[in-house]
Amino acid sequence: NCSINFCKNGGTCVAGLESYNCDCIPGFKGRLCELACKKLPQSCTRLYSETKSFPVWEGGVCHYLYRRVYKVHQDICYKESCESTVTNKALSRKQINRH
């Protein structure tokens, strides 16, 4: 039931058959959009592979040998970090009202 919008942080209530979900704006997640999330850069190592061909002359005929080459690159990866935007007082008040 979306008569009261419980969604936080600009989330939009979407009614289901017996419940509701929150459609969160970018940067927020969680059932009620109560989690503020951001992507944090961190260094990481990536393994790349490629196939290289090498010409080989044998008896006047050119043959190609194929070999897989692996390379390790330092890169920047992103880790998602989420923190609750709901205070403990607001959460406990909500739990009390449910009982």
Whole-model pTM: value is 0.55
Sequence spans of domains, the chain: 1-37, 40-81
pLDDT mean across residues, the chain: 85
* SS3 category, 85: coil
Residue in 41, 40, 37 with CA at minimum distance from that of residue 25:
37
Q: Is the pLDDT of residue 37 over 90?
A: yes
Q: What is the pLDDT of residue 86?
A: 84
Q: Which fold has domain 1-37?
A: Laminin (2.10.25)
The answer to whether 61 and 68 have CB atoms below 8 angstroms apart is no
19/6 Cα distance (integer angstroms): 12
Q: pLDDT tens across 5-16, in order?
A: 889 999 999 988
- How buried is residue 11: exposed, middle or buried, by Cβ count under 10 Å (0-12/13-18/19+)? buried
Structure tokens at 80: 């998602």
pLDDT > 70 in the chain, percent:
88
Per-residue pLDDT band for 88 (boundaries 50, 70, 90) equals: low
Residues 6+ apart with CB under 8 A from 61: none
Q: Is the pLDDT of residue 91 over 70?
A: no
